[in-house]
Amino acid sequence: MRTIFHIDANSAYLSWTAADMLRKGENLDIRNVPSVIAGDPKNRHGIILAKSLPAKKFGIVTGESLAEARRKCPKLLVFPPDHKLYSRYSDALYDLLSQYSPVIQRYSVDECFLDYTASEKLFGPSLKVAHEIGTRAKKELGFTVNIGVSCNMLLAKMGSELEKPDRVHTLYPEEMPQKMWPLSVSDLFMVGRATAQKLKKINIMTIGDLANADPSHMKSLFKSQGVLIWNFANGIDNAPVLAEGEVSQKGVGHSITTSHDVEDRREAHRILLFLTEKVGTRLRDLNKMAGVVTVSVKTADFARYTHQIRLSSPLDTTSQIYGYARRLFDECWKGEPLRLLGVSVSELCGPNNIQLSLFESPVTEKNQKIDETVDLICKKYGAGVIRRGR
């Protein structure tokens, strides 16, 4: 049987900011007072990204507006995000974990999976080492982590969520009826808000209800997603932990929150072109081509929707991706004021894995040469020194 750890930094952005401030001589530990990490409200990025436990007691939640959080707690301390700092602390955590296993998969900037199966003979029992990792993270790096221990990635991740902060939890299959099944079905990994609402409408309220449901019924209601979440509710997950370098890039995307409501189609198109430039450059840096283009928008009322198209042949040219993005936007936009636009591509493949079409556009080669030239200029003189017109 495998032994898998899921390591999750507690309130990472705020904890890492606090640790860095203390290291630089600050006397106040912002984790002990009502505080949050949030963007600049002047640029409409005033969303709570992380919060301290004292802030949580005021009812402040991740994702709400900074203005709303300040109404709940007028003396709230607010600190801006610092992604370079987060990257350094994320790397420090990864380096610590690499001392216990070479098989570590970054799941996000503040989460890692670690396959401890082969390491147990070297370092001892899994629970002892999990506690040791937690202690070392606190003493050496200055922040706490939660660690879930189980036989697969799904149960390890669910285990690490059971109680926070600074905890080690096991969640093996025999522990599921007591520890996991009583939880709300919305707490299950891969069950989003819309899926949870649909499940509750058919009286599936807990993870245990889903685990004991008819899998064929779940498939008929939710297609392949239904099979996946039924398996997860029963603790079934055979995915391997992939060491860094083995994890494939699944997609590339870029979005922007605008400084004002966008209500003009031409302005929206200009923003889409700017986003597509970034997406196209990253795609070519990865030496990948995309099979799906997706556009996402968020209205001034915070309603969000997406539109996507599967391409007949993968591509990587900025002008072609922009053409699809603009078309998708025109098809899905209903004229509401917008506060966010995004462009992403997925189903990536290498250039050698595509089948050339007899009906390939004659301008494709010209577009590729333009992209190569623009990419070279930007790499030499900096991003943004040259931009294409619509």
Each residue of 17-58: pLDDT tens digit? 999 999 999 999 999 999 999 977 665 557 898 999 999 999
pLDDT for 326-356, tens place per residue?
Answer: 999 998 898 999 988 999 998 888 765 544 4
Is the pLDDT at 13 greater than 90, yes or no? yes
Q: Are residues 165 and 279 in the same domain?
A: no
pLDDT at 1 over 70: yes
Residue 65: the pLDDT is: 86
Residue 366 confidence (pLDDT) = 60
Which pLDDT score is estimated for 369?
Answer: 61
pTM: 0.70
Contact (CB, 8 A) for 328 and 295: yes
Q: Are residues 343 and 195 in the same domain?
A: no
Q: Is 159 found in the same domain as 20?
A: yes
277 with 294, same domain: the answer is: yes
Nearest to 38 by CA among 9, 6, 89, 73: 73
pLDDT given at position 386: 54
Domain of residue 207, CATH code: 1.10.150.20
Q: Which residues contact 325 (CB under 8 A, 6 or more apart)?
A: 272, 275, 276, 293, 295, 343
- Compare 41 and 14 and report the one with higher pLDDT: 14
Long-range contacts of 129-138 (CB under 8 A, 24+ apart): 129/100, 130/5, 130/168, 131/168, 133/5, 133/7, 133/96, 133/97, 133/100, 134/166, 134/168, 136/96, 137/9, 137/93, 137/96, 138/166
Q: Is residue 65 located within the same domain as residue 137?
A: yes
Instruction: Indicate if 169 and 99 belong to the same structural domain.
Output: yes
Catalytic residue from among 26, 64, 68, 111: 111
Count of domains in the chain? 3
**Is there a single domain that holds both residue 168 and residue 224?**
no
For this structure, is 140 an active site residue? no
Do the domain assignments include residue 245? Answer: no
Domain annotation covers residue 206:
yes
Q: Are residues 134 and 213 in the same domain?
A: no
Any domain includes 335 = yes
In Å, how far from its chain's centre is CA 25?
32
What CATH number does residue 372 fall under? 3.30.1490.100
Among 148, 173, 198, residue at a domain's last position: 173
138 and 9: one domain?
yes
Q: In this structure, are 198 and 214 located in the same domain?
A: yes
Whether residue 241 lies inside any domain: the answer is no
Residue 387 lies in a domain: no
| Assigned domain for 258 exists | yes
Averaged confidence pLDDT in the chain: 88
Q: 166 and 221: one domain?
A: no
> Does residue 239 lie within any of the structural domains?
no
Q: What is the pLDDT of residue 214?
A: 96
Beta pairing partners, 146:
8
Do 49 and 104 fall within a single domain?
yes
CATH of the domain at 145: 3.30.70.270
In a domain, residue 238? The reply is no
Q: Domain ends where: 173, 198, 216?
A: 173
Q: Which of 173, 189, 207 is the last residue before a domain boundary? A: 173
Residue 242: the pLDDT is 86
Quote the domain boundaries for residue 347.
251-381
Q: Which of 65-79, 222-236, 290-304 has the lowest mean pLDDT?
A: 290-304
